[in-house]
Structures are given as structure tokens and as C-alpha cells.
């Protein structure tokens, strides 16, 4: 019997689900340096303004901030460097087609460890308008109110 590797979230980009409508998500590997992995194990990453882009048939993660490793030396990594994502060619073609549509973008949703390997969940997303965000908040409030009434 083969066991599924367990997943342990490092960071979840909650802002992405608020700002964007998620159309489809993909799992991707990521090319990291040694001190970046150690920093990720400490949970020191910020995905606030990060996005992915396809350049010359390769997918790159831009603006993700992985803090410098505390116990690192002169060989520490650059916190804001572009990082290559490892995605299948068929998925890259799908991502290229999706990003060429107006309003679509590639957004990282979460970083996680899967069997000791760092993975990134990226999504094809469409930006929400202000009224969409208000509508989502109203739905959440209504559901919360209903839960309260059912509980009492």
C-alpha cells in the first residue's frame, strides 16, 4: 500500500480569494535555494502582492517575499527574486491561453509541504469588482446570522 504524502500549509493567501474569483487552480513545484527552504520551514513568507507570469514558455513567481534565513551566512538568498515554477507543458499551454483572456491573471493561493517538498498552488483568477466583494461579504454575514439563529 502506498500512502499519500501529508500536506502541511506554510502560508495561505487569503487576500487572493477576497480580491479575485478563482476559475481553476494548479499544483506546481518551485525552484528554491537552500536558505529559502529553511526560511519557509519557519513560515517566513509574504504573498501579499505576488503573482505568476508566463515568460518564454516558463512560469515565474514574481514579488513573493521569502525572508532571509536567520542563521544564514553570506550565501543567503535575495528575498524578492523571481522564482521558477515547475509545471507540465500541457498546463503551461493552458495557462498561456487563460492569461491571454482579458482580466485573467495567475495568483498564488498557498505554499505547502507535500512529503517534504515545497509546492505552490497557483490559480487562474479574474479580478472582482467592488460590488462583487460587497455581495460576498453580505452572503457571509447572512450565513453567520443564520448559524446564530440555528444555534439558539
Domain range summary for the chain, segments of one domain joined by +: 7-151
| pLDDT per residue rounded down to tens, the chain (152 residues) | 556 667 777 888 888 888 888 888 888 898 887 788 888 888 888 888 888 888 888 889 888 888 887 776 667 767 788 888 998 888 888 888 888 888 888 899 988 888 888 889 999 888 877 777 788 888 888 889 888 888 87
DSSP string, the chain: -PPPPPEEEEEE-HHHHHHEEEEEEEEEEE---HHHHHHHHTT-EE-TT-EEEEETTEEEEES-EEPPPTT--TTPPPTT--EEEE--HHHHHHHHHHHHSTTEEEEEEEEEEETTEEEEEEEEEEEPPHHHHHHHHHHHHHHHHHHHHHH-
Q: What is the pLDDT of residue 117?
A: 86
Q: What is the pLDDT of residue 135?
A: 82
For the domain covering 7-151, report its CATH number.
2.40.280.10
Q: What is the pLDDT of residue 74?
A: 67
Q: What is the pLDDT of residue 35?
A: 80
Amino acid at each position: 500500500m502506498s500512502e499519500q504524502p501529508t500536506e502541511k500549509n506554510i502560508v495561505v493567501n487569503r487576500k487572493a480569494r477576497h480580491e479575485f474569483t478563482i476559475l481553476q487552480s494548479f499544483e506546481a513545484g518551485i525552484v528554491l535555494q537552500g536558505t529559502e527552504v529553511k526560511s519557509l520551514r519557519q513560515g517566513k513568507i509574504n504573498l501579499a502582492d505576488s503573482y505568476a507570469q508566463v515568460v518564454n514558455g516558463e512560469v515565474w513567481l514574481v514579488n513573493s517575499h521569502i525572508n532571509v534565513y536567520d542563521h544564514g551566512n553570506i550565501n543567503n538568498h535575495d528575498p524578492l527574486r523571481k522564482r521558477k515554477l515547475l509545471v507540465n507543458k500541457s498546463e503551461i499551454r493552458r495557462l498561456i491561453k487563460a492569461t491571454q483572456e482579458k482580466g485573467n491573471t495567475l495568483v498564488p493561493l498557498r505554499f505547502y509541504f507535500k512529503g517534504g517538498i515545497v509546492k505552490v498552488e497557483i490559480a487562474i483568477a479574474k479580478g472582482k469588482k467592488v460590488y462583487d466583494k460587497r455581495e460576498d461579504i453580505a452572503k457571509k454575514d447572512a450565513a453567520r446570522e443564520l448559524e446564530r439563529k440555528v444555534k439558539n
